[in-house]
Amino acid sequence: MDLKLLNLQREYEWVIPKAGAMIVPGKIFASQDLVEEMDHKVYEQVTNVACLPGIQRFSMAMPDAHWGYGFPIGGVAAFDPQDGGVVSVGGVGFDVNCGVRTLKTGLTWGDVQTKLKNLIDTLFAIVPAGMGSRGKISLSGSQIEDVLTKGSQWVVSHGYGTREDLEHTEDNGRVSGADPSAVSQLALKRERRQVGTLGSGNHYLEIQRVDQVYDAGVAEKFGLAVDDVAVTIHCGSRALGHQVGTDSLKLLAEASRKYGIPIRERELVCAPIDSPEGRKYFSAVNCAINYAFANRQVITHLVRLGFEKVLPKADIRMLYDIGHNTCKIEDHQINGQTKELYVHRKGATRAFGPSRTNLPPDYQEVGQPVIVGGTMGTPSYILVGTDYGEQVAFASVCHGAGRRMSRKKAKKTWRGERLIQELEARGIYVRGHSAAGLAEEAPGAYKDVTSVIDAIHQAGLASKVVRLEPKGCIKG
């Protein structure tokens, strides 16, 4: 991206000045290097989002931003229903509530090291993953509705987890305003036995070791110390969620025409929040959000079963579960006034600071844990939300490293089998369901996650707490 297009407002905050049809300016949180590396398309997409009705303060991009669908991936925008605000498929994505969940194991690397391969092989056999995989739970029609309206809470009440798991899930694993009648029959049909499946693409299940602690006080609150072993699960709402996205494209394309909303990129189709189409879309999104929470909760149960077989002394507890493809109703301060806004985070993570009152009691003092995934060869990070991030970024941060290289190029550059050998030589044991899929996800195809995290930390949107190095990984 051309730096001349931007004004440096303060370190790590670049402003795209308001021009033309933009209702608000754009803002990119990143270091100079990361901005220079960003595709010009990110600039265009941030600008296009800034033209949507009812947008508040800024159209934002996080340091991992890359070219997406309508919104950039790593894009954040908040809309006020009182001000004609909209909801947009582009701002949520097709994999609704794709997200990450980190589990603490109560074990140290010394406990796991010699059993790692056995553990990964066991989990590989227990956790369904890859294209066409089916889970062990077959839901009836009314049970699907229960999952859509109650999310993790329903699966926990049926034995797939604990109350503590729910307390440590964003929105306690259940968002309200989820009416299953907003979800198409086709989406419901596609659910068939997919709850508790990982999927494919960039989704994974990883065994990690805490190798660095940056903030000992917060790490202690989170129950993390050097050498601790954690498990991180990255997946979303499966075919049901994808179908919700697909159905909504058509619904919102029609709504955009009906309400005469100027659309600068087809993928930005949207509807006023306060319209039948907007309400239907938001309700369907809430159903898919709940489904994704339930999906990660059932996988958590399977992880517990796997550890029981290989390392029975493990005590698997939730650190946190957070989505990064969402639209949420949240209170934010606009010009000294509290407003209820619809915050879209497309490839971006909520990061509530300590001043929020609805955090789990054990995190209330320090702020919400933020999980940022790396790749199978590079570290992940746990950060903590800040009050500054609340003020300037609607409490949002990045979601990962962000791609540097297209999947097409990655497939030409790497071979899955070779990659597995290379990672094994570095002490990382990888099992995948597809060699081609692995090549697309090669660590070299992503930006350096460390520079993305440093930009977030330096910008003050969240603070680094610990770093997790990958030790074993299951890819779909």
Partner 1 sequence: MDRVSGSYDYFEHQADMGILGCGATLAEAFAQGARAMFDLMVELDRVQPLQRVAIECQGNDQAELFVEWLNRLLAEADIRRMAFSRFQVNRLTESHLQGLAWGESLDVGRHRPKTEVKAATYAMLFVGQEREQYVARCVVDL
Catalytic residues: 399
Contact pattern for partner 1 over residues 168 through 187, marking x by CB under 8 A: ------------------x-
Phi then psi for residue 188, to 5 deg, are -65, -40
Q: How far is the CB of 58 from partner 1 (least distance, A)?
A: 22
Helix or strand run (H / E) with residue 167: helix 163-167
Q: Which of 27, 57, 66, 471 binds partner 1 (CB under 8 A)?
A: 66
Q: How far is the CB of 436 from partner 1 (least distance, A)?
A: 4
Q: How far apart are CA 199 and CA 432, in angstroms?
A: 11
Q: How far is the CB of 444 from partner 1 (least distance, A)?
A: 15
Q: Which of 69, 79, 342, 352 binds partner 1 (CB under 8 A)?
A: 69
Q: How far is the CB of 245 from partner 1 (least distance, A)?
A: 6
Q: How far is the CB of 263 from partner 1 (least distance, A)?
A: 10
Q: How far apart are CA 276 and CA 245, in angstroms?
A: 17
57 binding partner 1? (CB under 8 A)? no
267 binding partner 1? (CB under 8 A)? yes
Contact 293, 344 (CB under 8 A): no
Q: How far apart are CA 83 and CA 338, in angstroms?
A: 14
Tell me how far CA of residue 19 lies from CA of 12, 15, 40, 60, in angstroms.
22, 12, 17, 16
Q: Which of 278, 437, 443, 472 binds partner 1 (CB under 8 A)?
A: 437
132 binding partner 1? (CB under 8 A)? yes
Q: Which is nearer to partner 1, 117 or 266 (CB)?
A: 266
277 binding partner 1? (CB under 8 A)? no
Within 382-421, which residues bind partner 1 (CB under 8 A)? 403, 406-409
DSSP string, 450-476: HHHHHHHHHHTSEEEEEEEEEEEEEE-
Number of residues that bind partner 1 (CB under 8 A): 47
Within 85-124, which residues bind partner 1 (CB under 8 A)? 93-95
**Beta-strand (E) ranges in 303-399?**
317-323, 325-334, 337-346, 349-350, 369-372, 380-385, 396-397
317 binding partner 1? (CB under 8 A)? no
Phi then psi for residue 293, to 5 deg, are -60, -45
Q: Which of 102, 122, 243, 396 binds partner 1 (CB under 8 A)?
A: 243
Q: Which is nearer to partner 1, 242 or 280 (CB)?
A: 242
Q: Which of 23, 249, 310, 334 binds partner 1 (CB under 8 A)?
A: 249
Phi then psi for residue 385, to 5 deg, are -65, 155
DSSP string, 187-215: HHHHTTT-TT---STT-EEEEEEEEEES-
Q: Give the chain's radius of gyration (CA, Å).
A: 21
Q: Which is nearer to partner 1, 10 or 418 (CB)?
A: 418
Q: How far apart are CA 476 and CA 466, in angstroms?
A: 26
63 binding partner 1? (CB under 8 A)? no
Q: How far apart are CA 286 and CA 94, in angstroms?
A: 13
Q: Which is nearer to partner 1, 75 or 377 (CB)?
A: 75
Q: Could you tell me how many residues make up the chain? A: 476
Q: Which residues contact 194 (CB under 8 A, 6 or more apart)?
A: 134, 135, 238, 239, 240, 295
Q: How far apart are CA 381 and CA 457, in angstroms?
A: 11
Q: Which of 172, 434, 450, 451 binds partner 1 (CB under 8 A)?
A: 434
> Do β-strands 325-334 and 349-350 pair in parallel, antiparallel, or remain unpaired?
unpaired
DSSP annotation of 412: H
151 binding partner 1? (CB under 8 A)? no
Point out which span in 241-249, 315-323, 337-345, 380-388 binds partner 1 (CB under 8 A).
Answer: 241-249
Q: Which of 132, 229, 231 is nearest to 476 (CA)?
A: 132
39 binding partner 1? (CB under 8 A)? yes
Q: Which residues contact 62 (CB under 8 A, 6 or more apart)?
A: 29, 30, 74, 75, 76, 347, 348, 396, 397, 398, 399, 456
200 binding partner 1? (CB under 8 A)? yes
Contact 278, 54 (CB under 8 A): no
Q: Which of 131, 216, 225, 305 binds partner 1 (CB under 8 A)?
A: 131
Q: How far is the CB of 83 from partner 1 (least distance, A)?
A: 26
| Residue keyed to tokens 């306060």 | 274
Contact pattern for partner 1 over residues 335 through 374, marking x by CB under 8 A: ----------------------------------------
259 binding partner 1? (CB under 8 A)? no
64 binding partner 1? (CB under 8 A)? no
Q: Which of 54, 199, 323, 385 binds partner 1 (CB under 8 A)?
A: 199
Point out which span in 16-24, 199-207, 282-290, 463-471 binds partner 1 (CB under 8 A).
Answer: 199-207
Q: Which is nearer to partner 1, 309 or 418 (CB)?
A: 418
| Interacting residues toward partner 1 by CB under 8 A | 39, 41, 66-70, 73, 93-95, 130-132, 134, 186, 189-190, 192, 199-201, 239, 242-243, 245-246, 249-250, 253-254, 257, 265-267, 269, 403, 406-409, 433-434, 436-437, 440, 476
